[in-house]
């Protein structure tokens, strides 16, 4: 299920004034091998000096101790997207990270996949409102810390995810629910965007029992449908899920968030009632585990995200829950 060279449809939005070095072209030609050393680090602006650190961190992922494992993941994050903006060489590490998550039983696999998914988003260090919740990129230029066009870096990452999507599909059936949810987060961003991925995710939803993974699968399918230009179809699909009182709670909640991300309309009264009836502390803790809101959860901003995303849809002012329910997101 790998991506082939003929599958890439070049996004020409920034042609004519973008940088001379196009990392997408590199991935288009070199990405078939997916070996980190095969990429032109010395010819990629700002990349050569960080390669030894990245290779050292990747090697450190083989550590048997949890502490060093997560330190290595965070080191790679720091080097590739420390401020939430993917750097020019972010795509070069994608295949190695996905292979690690697929071939190991490490406790860090979900964190590794979370990093890959974050690399595939133009600005992962932000609190996503309704307008950008399902967006992986924007129609305007965003630049990384070196001044490179991050839009192209993200597109290159998504191409690499497409080349390795077979491993990610396998991750949807992993025994660890944390791996399943992050695998769905990653594969939703893959290029090329096609209906096959959405159908695979939806089929997995039929047998999924974990509430957080159910939410993640619904949101991932809706995001990929959006990338395929099937917004109306996907909006109708998620509405059929959240309006079904017999559907599992995770499916209904995920569908509610997906609907809000797909539609620019005010939430219909039945959806407002569903959101109003959610048991706040329990729902907060479950939603905080979604890969899409990692930054808000880790920075203590979940309440603000919830109020902006859900409160507005409900048409009412959210009451701040007790600190014990908010501070542990």
| DSSP conformation letters of 114-139 | HHHHHHTSS--SS---TTTTT-SS-S
d(CA 139, CA 209): 37
| 204 found inside a domain | no
User: Which range, of 38-52, 149-163, 301-315, averages the lowest pLDDT?
Assistant: 301-315
List, for residues 165-187, the tens digit of each pLDDT value. 999 999 999 999 999 999 999 99
* 162 and 55 within one domain: yes
Which one, of 205, 213, 175, 188, lies nearest residue 289 by Cα? 213
Instruction: Give pLDDT, residue 324.
Output: 38
Task: Kindly state whether residues 126 and 43 are assigned to the same domain.
Answer: yes
Side-chain-side CA neighbours of 258 within 13 Å: the count stands at 33
> Does residue 277 share a domain with residue 187?
no
Does residue 200 fall inside a structural domain? no
Q: Which of 322, 314, 238 is nearest to 284 (CA)?
A: 322
Q: Please tell me whether residues 169 and 248 are part of one structural domain.
A: no
Give the end of a domain, one of 164, 192, 220: 192
- 176 and 214 belong to one structural domain: no
* CB of 44 closer than 8 Å to CB of 23: yes
pLDDT band, residue 2 (cuts 50/70/90): very low
DSSP state of 32: T
Q: Are 150 and 279 in a shared domain?
A: no
149 φ, ψ (degrees, to nearest 5):
-70, 105
Name the band, by pLDDT with cuts 50, 70 and 90, for residue 291. Answer: very high
If asked whether residues 78 and 165 sit together in one domain, one would say yes
- Check pLDDT > 90 for residue 302: no
Question: Is 168:183 a contact under the CB 8 Å cutoff?
Answer: yes
Same domain, 34 and 123: yes
Q: Quick one: angle between helices 211-227 and 231-242, nearest 10?
A: 160
- Where in the sequence is the domain holding 6, given as residue range(s)? 1-192
Tell whether 198 is covered by a domain: no
**What gap in Å lies between CA 168 and CA 179, rounded to an integer?**
10
Beta carbons of 24 and 10 less than 8 angstroms apart: yes
Residue-wise pLDDT tens digits, 197-239: 999 999 999 999 999 999 999 999 999 999 999 999 999 999 9
Give pTM, 2 decimals.
0.91
> Which residue in this structure is represented by tokens 């078939």?
32
Residue 229 region, left (φ>0) first, then alpha (ψ -120 to 50), else beta? left
Contact between residue 184 and residue 172 where contact means Cβ atoms under 8 Å apart: yes
Examine the fold and report which residue of 140, 159, 192 is the final residue of a domain before the chain moves on.
192
Question: What are 29's two structure tokens?
Answer: 């030609």
pLDDT band at 316 (very low <50, low <70, confident <90, very high): low
**Do the domain assignments include residue 6?**
yes
Q: What is the distance between the alpha carbons of residues 243 and 210, in angstroms, rounded to a whole number?
A: 20
- Write down which residue in 131, 161, 192 finishes a domain: 192
Question: In this structure, is residue 201 part of a structural domain?
Answer: no
Q: Are residues 181 and 216 in the same domain?
A: no
**Does residue 163 sit in the same domain as residue 111?**
yes
Residue 199 counted as domain residue: no
Q: Which helix (H) or strand (E) holds 201?
A: helix 195-205
Average pLDDT of span 251-280: 91
Distance from C-alpha of 149 to C-alpha of 163, rounded to nearest angstrom: 22
Identify whether residues 270 and 310 lie together within a single domain: yes
Q: Domain for residue 321, yes or no? A: yes
DSSP assignment letter at 30: H
Distance CA 312, CA 297 (A): 19
Per the structure, how many domains does the chain have?
A: 2
* Helices marked H in 42-194: 51-60, 66-81, 94-103, 109-119, 150-163, 165-171, 177-187
Residues 302, 215 share a domain: yes
Could you tell me the pLDDT band of residue 126, with boundaries at 50, 70 and 90?
Answer: confident
Distance from the first to the final alpha carbon of the chain? 36
**Is 202 among the domain residues?**
no
């Amino acid at each position: 299920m790998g991506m082939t060279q003929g599958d890439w449809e070049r996004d020409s939005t920034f042609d004519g004034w973008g940088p001379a070095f196009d990392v997408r072209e590199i991935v288009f030609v070199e990405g078939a091998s997916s070996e980190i050393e095969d990429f032109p680090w010395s010819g990629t602006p700002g990349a050569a000096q960080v390669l030894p650190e990245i290779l050292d961190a990747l090697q450190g992922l083989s550590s048997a101790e949890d502490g060093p494992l997560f330190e290595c993941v965070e080191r790679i994050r720091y080097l590739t997207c420390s401020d939430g903006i993917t750097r020019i060489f972010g795509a070069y590490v994608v295949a190695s990270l996905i292979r690690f998550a697929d071939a190991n039983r490490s406790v860090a696999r979900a964190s590794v996949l979370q990093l890959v998914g974050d690399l595939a988003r133009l600005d992962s260090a932000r609190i996503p409102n309704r307008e950008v919740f399902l967006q992986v990129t924007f129609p305007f230029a965003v630049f990384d810390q070196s001044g490179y066009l991050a839009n192209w870096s993200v597109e290159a990452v998504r191409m690499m995810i497409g080349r390795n999507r077979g491993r990610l599909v396998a991750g949807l059936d992993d025994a660890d629910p944390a791996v399943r949810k992050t695998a769905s987060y990653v594969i939703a961003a893959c290029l090329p965007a096609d209906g096959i991925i959405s159908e695979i995710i939806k089929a997995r939803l039929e047998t999924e029992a974990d509430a957080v993974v159910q939410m993640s699968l619904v949101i991932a399918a809706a995001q990929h449908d959006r990338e395929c230009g099937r917004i109306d179809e996907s909006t109708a699909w998620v509405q059929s899920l959240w309006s079904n009182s017999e559907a599992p709670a995770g499916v209904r909640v995920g569908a509610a968030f997906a609907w809000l991300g797909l539609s620019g309309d005010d939430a219909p009264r039945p959806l407002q009632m569903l959101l109003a009836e959610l048991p706040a502390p329990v729902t907060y803790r479950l939603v905080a585990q979604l890969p899409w809101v990692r930054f808000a959860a880790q920075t203590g901003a979940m309440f603000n995200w919830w109020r902006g995303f859900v409160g507005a849809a409900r048409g009412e002012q959210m009451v701040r829950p007790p600190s014990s329910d908010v501070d542990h997101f």
